[in-house]
Amino acid sequence: MSIRDFTTTVRRSLLIAAGSAVMVSGAATAADAPLKIGMSFQELNNEYFVTMKEALEAATASIGADLIITDAHHDVAKQVSDVEDMVQRGIDILLLNPTDSVGIETAVLEAHQAGVTTIAIDAQAKGPVDGFVGSKNYDAGYKACHYLGKALDGKGQVAILDGIPVVPILQRVKGCTAALDEFPDVTVVDKQNGRQDRTQAMTVTENLIQAHPDLDGLFSVNDIGALGALIAIDASGKDIKMVSVDGHPEAIAAIRKPDSAFIATAAQYPRDMVRLGLGLGLAKHWGASTAPAEIPIDVTLIDRDNAADFRW
């Protein structure tokens, strides 16, 4: 079965109210006892992950599964403890959104040894995971920064507002730099870590603008950081164009404003991501040999022209 076919099957099975059975790989399975599913989030102080959580709650309710949700608050030690606790509580499937792709390995190993099916969501995790569902993050960085390069007419100084060192963030930065390399007269003058946090990103951007008074553009690895950076850009009074990744509702609203410094974001689809992650987990748990190891999800470049029609 191709990824496209699997994706179509899972979407159909999870989006249609189905009672107690889900169709995966063309076969229906109804458990005598409810499945127990755990989801460990790196954080829930972000509408992107809240949107994901709400979609998961609806999807698990539609198949009659029990659901346990935890919030690591970006603390890998807490996330390891949360996962260990869910394993002790007898979960069948673990959906894992790691706050640290390497640091979470011990928890992944424990889940694997307990026979728990583990699917990494949004960010890959080191260890014996059974599958991964996430956005095409390289494409997200590339699309956003190629748009920025064109908006700058192919010349100027650009800074990168980095984030925590998980694979999706690293891929976004790599895609961005590849896109900017296509513009010989665009120079990346600095890269600083805003930690994907609104307040931290605002402070870092203030320092970037002070250090580089001729700054023309900024790439933020996520929209929350970009919204903090936007405050600093607006306060500076400088003409600095900014692009980002996510599709956060506040970011979309900012992009829609005339003359906004925030000109585009490469939007993700958190609802699809977690639904497909659940579907992949069910397939692997039930022994589907044709289920893919990874499901990459496309991103969409959102600018002022199409922002009005975009919703998570």
Question: What is the SS3 string spanning 141-156?
Answer: HHHHHHHHHHHCCCEE
Please check whether residue 196 is in contact with residue 244, taking contact to mean a CB–CB distance below 8 angstroms. no
Which whole-number Å values give the CA distances from 189 to 157, 180, 186, in the listed order? 6, 12, 9
144 shares a domain with 100: no
The pLDDT, as a whole number, for residue 6 is 53
Residue 305 in any domain: the answer is no
Q: Are residues 99 and 177 in the same domain?
A: no
Check pLDDT > 80 for residue 225. Answer: yes
From CA 220, how far away is CA 213, in angstroms rounded? 18
Q: What angle do CA 41, 72, 201 make, to 5 degrees?
A: 90
Same domain, 108 and 10: yes
Same domain, 90 and 150: no
pLDDT at 95 > cutoff 90: yes
Residue 307 lies in a domain: no
Residue 18 reports pLDDT greater than 60: no
pLDDT of residue 10: 55
Q: Is the same domain home to 167 and 142?
A: yes
In a domain, 69, yes or no: yes
- The answer to whether residues 110 and 148 belong to one domain is no
Residue 183 lies in a domain: yes
Q: pLDDT band for 165, please (50, 70, 90 cuts).
A: confident
Quick one: 145 and 55 in the same domain? Answer: no
* Average pLDDT over every residue of 76-87: 98
**Token pair belonging to 216:** 């023309």
Mapped onto helix, strand or coil, the DSSP state of residue 54 is helix
| Number of domain units in the chain | 2
Question: What does 214-273 look like in DSSP terms, one character per residue?
Answer: TEEEEEESSHHHHHHHHHHHHHHT---EEEEEE--HHHHHHHHSTT-SEEEEEE--HHHH
Query: Which letter does DSSP use for residue 309 in this model?
Result: G
Task: Please determine, for residue 16, whether its predicted confidence score (pLDDT) is greater than 80.
Answer: no
Domain extent for 202? 137-268
CATH number at residue 8: 3.40.50.2300
pLDDT at 33: 87
Output the six-digit token pair for 181: 């390399």
109 and 190 together in one domain: no
Type of residue at 280: L
Which residue did the predictor score with more confidence, 10 or 225?
A: 225
pLDDT at residue 264 greater than cutoff 50: yes
Indicate if 142 and 226 belong to the same structural domain: yes
Confidence of residue 21 (pLDDT cuts 50, 70, 90): very low
pLDDT tens digits for range 47-66: 999 999 999 999 999 999 99
Q: What are phi and psi of 261, to 5 degrees?
A: -70, -25
90, part of any domain: yes
pTM, two decimals, is: 0.87
State how far the alpha carbon of 270 is from the alpha carbons of 95, 183, 190, 228, 293, in Å: 13, 32, 30, 22, 19
Burial class (CB in 10 A: 0-12, 13-18, 19+), 59: buried
Q: Across the chain, what does the average pLDDT equal?
A: 92
Domain membership of residue 47 (yes or no) is yes
Angle between helix 270-285 and helix 47-62 axes, rounded to 10 deg: 40
Indicate if 237 and 125 belong to the same structural domain. no
Buried-state track 97-108, b at ≥16 Cβ within 10 A, e below 16:
bbbbbebbbebb
Is 222 a member of any domain? Answer: yes
Q: Are residues 12 and 114 in the same domain?
A: yes
User: What's the pLDDT tens digit per position in 34-51?
Assistant: 999 999 999 999 999 999
Place of tokens 């919703």: 311
Same domain, 218 and 278: no
Could you tell me which residues are beta bridge partners of residue 37?
67, 93
